[in-house]
Structure 1
Amino acid sequence: MAENDTARTSRRALLLAAGSAGAALLASACAGPAGTRGAAGQPSASASAPRPTGGASSPSCVLTTEAGAGPYYLDLDRVRSDITEDRDGVPFRLDLTVVRVSAGCRPLRAATVDVWQADASGTYSTGGATFLRGTQVTDAAGRCVFRTIVPGWYAGLAPHIHFKVRPDTRTETTSQFFFPEDLLREVYARRPYARRAAPRHPNGRDSRYNSSGAAMTLAPAPDGSGYRAAYTVGIA
Structure 2
Amino acid sequence: MRENDPSPTSRRAVLLAAGTAGVATLASAFVATAAGNDPEQTSPFPSSLPGATTPACVLTTVWGAGPYYLDLDRVRSDITDDRQGIPFRLDFTIVRTSQGCRPLEGAAVDVWQADAAGDYSSNGATYLRGTQITDHADRCTFHTIVPGWYAELAPHIHFKVRPDNHTETSSQLFFPEDLLKELYTRRPYAQRQVPEQPNGRDDRYRASGASLTLAPTADGDGYRAAYTVGIA
After superposition, where does 1:71-220 map in structure 2 within 5 Å?
71-220=67-216
Change (3 A) 1:55 1:152: closer
How far 1:51 sits from its partner (Å)?
Answer: 1.9
Structure 1 gaps of 5+ residues are 1-40
Provide the identity percentage: 71
User: Contact 1:64/1:233 (CA < 8 Å) preserved in 2?
Assistant: no
User: Contact 2:109/2:162 (CA < 8 Å) preserved in 1?
Assistant: yes
Report the counterpart of residue 70 of structure 1 in structure 2.
Answer: 66
How far 1:49 sits from its partner (Å)?
Answer: 4.9
How far 1:48 sits from its partner (Å)?
Answer: 5.9
Distance 1:172 1:217 in 2: 21
User: Contact 1:50/1:63 (CA < 8 Å) preserved in 2?
Assistant: no
Change (3 A) 1:96 1:48: closer
Distance 2:166 2:68 in 1: 22
Distance 2:184 2:86 in 1: 9
Distance 1:199 1:182 in 2: 12
How far 1:70 sits from its partner (Å)?
Answer: 1.2
Higher RCO (Cα < 8 Å, 6 or more apart): 2
1:50 to 24, 28, 32: 32
Change (3 A) 1:87 1:112: same
Distance 2:118 2:216 in 1: 20
Equivalent AA in structure 1 for residue 202 of structure 2 = D
Segments of 4+ moved more than 4 angstroms: 53-56, 60-64
User: Contact 2:36/2:215 (CA < 8 Å) preserved in 1?
Assistant: no
Size of the aligned set, in residue pairs, is 193
Report the counterpart of residue 41 of structure 2 in structure 1.
Answer: none
After superposition, where does 1:7-22 map in structure 2 within 5 Å?
none
- Which structure shows the bigger proportion of residues in helix conformation? 1
How far 1:42 sits from its partner (Å)?
Answer: 6.2
* TM-score normalized with structure 1 length: 0.77
- Which structure shows the bigger proportion of residues in strand conformation? 2
Distance 1:147 1:63 in 2: 28
Report the counterpart of residue 226 of structure 1 in structure 2.
Answer: 222
* TM-score normalized with structure 2 length: 0.78
